[in-house]
Amino acid sequence: MSDPDPELRRPTDRTCERCGREEMWRDGSWRVAEVDGERRVGSVYCVHEWDINGTFVPFDDGSGRPAGSA
Ligand SMILES: [Zn+2]
């Protein structure tokens, strides 16, 4: 009843900034999203640059070192 929902702590959808692939987190894995019946598979050759709603931001200050190591 009062169980914390682990799904709230992680992104539930993501979009590739390079090829436009869209995925949704479902049943424990990423599934290709469908929009208006069209599967947004993007490019199979793309290395995928995921845009995850700003909820998950990997450190990237251009130095290649973890933030706060200055
Ligand atoms: Zn991609």
DSSP codes joined into one string, 13-52: EEEETTT--EEEEETTEEEE-EETTEE----TT----EE-
Is 19 a member of any domain?
yes
CA–centroid distance, 69 to ligand 1, in Å, is 31
**DSSP-based three-state secondary structure for 38:** strand
CA–centroid distance, 27 to ligand 1, in Å, is 22
* Residue 21: how many other CB atoms lie within 10 Å: 22
CA–centroid distance, 1 to ligand 1, in Å, is 38
Is 23 a member of any domain?
yes
Q: How many domains does the chain have?
A: 1
User: What range defines the domain where residue 14 resides?
Assistant: 9-51
Q: What is the pLDDT of residues 37-63, one digit of tens each?
A: 999 999 999 999 998 755 555 555 555
CA–centroid distance, 67 to ligand 1, in Å, is 26
Q: What is the pLDDT of residues 6-45, one digit of tens each?
A: 555 667 889 999 999 999 988 889 999 998 999 999 999 9
CA–centroid distance, 41 to ligand 1, in Å, is 9
Nearest C-alpha neighbor of 39 from the set 17, 20, 13 = 20
Is 69 a member of any domain?
no
Is 67 a member of any domain?
no
Is 3 a member of any domain?
no
Is 64 a member of any domain?
no
Is 62 a member of any domain?
no
Is 13 a member of any domain?
yes
For residue 32, what are its two tokens?
């290709």
CA distance 27 to 20: 22
